[in-house]
Structure 1
Amino acid sequence: MPAPAARVIVLAGPSGAGKSRLADRLGLPVLRLDDFYKNGSDPTLPTITEGQNAGLTDWDHPDSWVRDDAMDAIRALCTDGVATVPIYDIAQDGRCGERVLDLGGSPLFLAEGIFAQEVVPAGHREGLVAAAYCVTQHPLVTFWRRLTRDLREHRKPPLVLLRRGWALLRAQGDVVRHAVALGCREVSPEQAYAEIRAMLPARRTPA
C-alpha cells in the first residue's frame, strides 16, 4: 500500500477541554468531527436512560455519531487531499449543508471532536495517524468553559445544558480513560500545542 499523501493528528477529549481552540491556534486544516452527528430525526439515536435528562437524546454517546462517514473523510483527505464534509447545526439537531475541505498540499491535518478517539484504532491500522491526543484540563475548568460556550451559542435550553454539564463533569475520568484505551495520549492543551508545532515542517524564509 502506498504511503498516504497526508496524515491526521487526532484531538480527542471531553467537550469543553479546548480542542477547537487548540486547532485554531495551530493553523492546520481542520476536520470537525462533530459535524458527523446523526440528524435529530434519526430513529437509531441513543437516549439517556436514567437521571434528570432521562428520555432525551444522548448526544454524548458514540452511537449518536457516524464513525464510518468520518473515517471515509479522513481516508479521502489522506489520499486525495480533499473531501466533501457535512456542516452540522447543533441548535437544529441536523446537517444543514456541505463544504469542501482542501488541505492545500499540507502533509498534516487535524481531526477534532468529542468522538475523535473512535477513529484512532482504524487510523493506526491503515497508517493514517501521525499522532493522537486526548486533550484534558481540570474538570471544573472544562465544566465552566463548556457551559459558557453552550449558553453563548444557544445549543440547548439552559437547564438541559446545566444538567448535561454536571453529568459530563462526573464522567470526565471515564471519557479520558476510554480515549487512552483506544490509542490517545492524555495531554494538556499546551503540551499538545508544543508537540504538534514541533512536528510541522520548518517554514522557509525569503532570501
Structure 2
Amino acid sequence: MSIHPPSPARVVLLCGPSGSGKSLVAARSGLPVLRLDDFYKEADDPTLPLVRGSSDIDWDHPDSWDADVAVEAIVRLCATGSTPVPVYDIALSARTGEEPLDIDGAPLFIAEGIFAAEIVERCRELGVLADALCLTRGPVTTFRRRFLRDLKEGRKSVSFLLRRGWRLMRAERSIVSRQISLGAHACDRDEALGRLTTAAHRQAGQRTAA
C-alpha cells in the first residue's frame, strides 16, 4: 500500500473594515491564523501613501502593505505548513523581528487583515483559496470598537486615531463595497463562523479522500 503525503492546505482570507471583529472571529474559529497586519511597510519606506491633503501616512491604503511578501507566506504555509513571518509593532510602524508560524498539519488556516481582499484573485489563481469573507458590523459600531482598541493598545496618538476614525467611518460603505468587488463575501460574525466550519470540514474531507 502506497502512502501519499497530505494534500496542501488552503487559506480563508478574512477582511473587513478596521474594527469589524476579524481577529475575534479568527480566534473563535479555532483555526491557525496568519496576521496580515504584520506585513505593513515600515514608516521610513518612501513608497508609503499619504492621506490626501494631509501629512498623515495613509495606513488604510493598500500601498502601505507588502502584498507580495504576504502572498509568498500564504503559499509557503499551504505547501509546507510553516513560514517565517515578520513581527510588526504598529505603534512604532516598524518590524521588530521575525518568528516562525507553523499550522501543525491543519488542512485550513485563516489569513486576516484589512487588505486580505486585495489578494483574493492572486490566491485563487495560485490554487490556495478556500474562501474569502468580508465582516461587516456598521460604521458606528466599528468606529467605537476600533477607537477603544487602538487607544488601549497605544497604536498611535489620540489625535491621529480620531482623524483616522472619522475618515474611516465616512468611508466604511465604500470600503466594504470594494472588498466585495475584489471577491470577498460580505457576512456577519455568525455567518463567517459557519462558513469557516464548512470550509474546514470540506478541506479535511478532501485531504482524507486524497
Match of 2:95 in 1: 95
Contact 2:131 2:199 in 1 (8 A): no
Q: Secondary structure at the match of 2:150?
A: helix
State the partner residue of 1:200: 200
Aligned identity (percent) is: 49
Q: How does 1:84-163 map to 2 (within 5 A)?
A: 84-163=84-163
> By how many angstroms is 1:199 displaced?
2.9
How many residues in Structure 1 have an aligned counterpart in Structure 2?
198
Q: Does 1:14 align with 2:28?
A: no
Shift of 1:4: 5.7
- Distance, in Å, in 1 between the alignment partners of 2:62 and 2:160 is 19
* SS class of match (1:95): strand
SS of 2:123 mapped into structure 1: helix
Q: Which of 15, 25, 30 pairs up with 1:27?
A: 30
Q: Distance in 1 between matches of 2:21 and 2:7?
A: 28
SS where residue 155 of structure 2 aligns?
Answer: coil
Moved over 3 A (4+): none
TM-score, normalised relative to structure 2: 0.91
SS of residue paired to 1:34: helix
1:179 corresponds to = 179
**For residues 2-35 of structure 1, what are the alpha-carbon distances to aligned partners after superposition, in whole Å with 9 as ceiling and x for unaligned?**
x961000010110000000111111111010010
- CA distance 1:4–1:63, change in 2 (3 Å): farther
d(CA) in 2 for partners of 1:4 and 1:134?
27
Q: TM-score, normalised by structure 1?
A: 0.92
Per-residue deviation, 1:136: 0.7
CA distance in 2, matches of 1:21, 1:46: 28
Distance 2:195 2:116 in 1: 18
Deviation at 1:49, TM superposition (A): 1.8
Q: Which moved more, 1:3-12 or 1:80-89?
A: 3-12
Whole-Å Cα distance in 2 between the matches of residues 82 and 114 of structure 1? 23
User: What are the superposed Cα offsets for residues 94-152 of structure 1, whole Å, 9 maximum, x if unpaired?
Assistant: 00111111110000000000101111010111111100001110110011000000000
Between the aligned partners of 1:201 and 1:114, the Cα distance in structure 2 is 26
Equivalence for 2:164: 164
Deviations 1:57-92 (A, max 9, x none): 110110010000000001100111110010100000
Give the Cα separation in 2 of the matches to 1:38 and 1:135: 24
Superimposed CA distance per residue, residues 33-62 of structure 1 (whole angstroms, 9 cap, x where no aligned partner): 010000111111111122xxx111110110
Cα distance in 2 between the residues matched to 1:10 and 1:36: 15
Gaps of at least 5 residues in structure 2 are: 1-5, 205-210
TM superposition shift of 1:198: 2.8
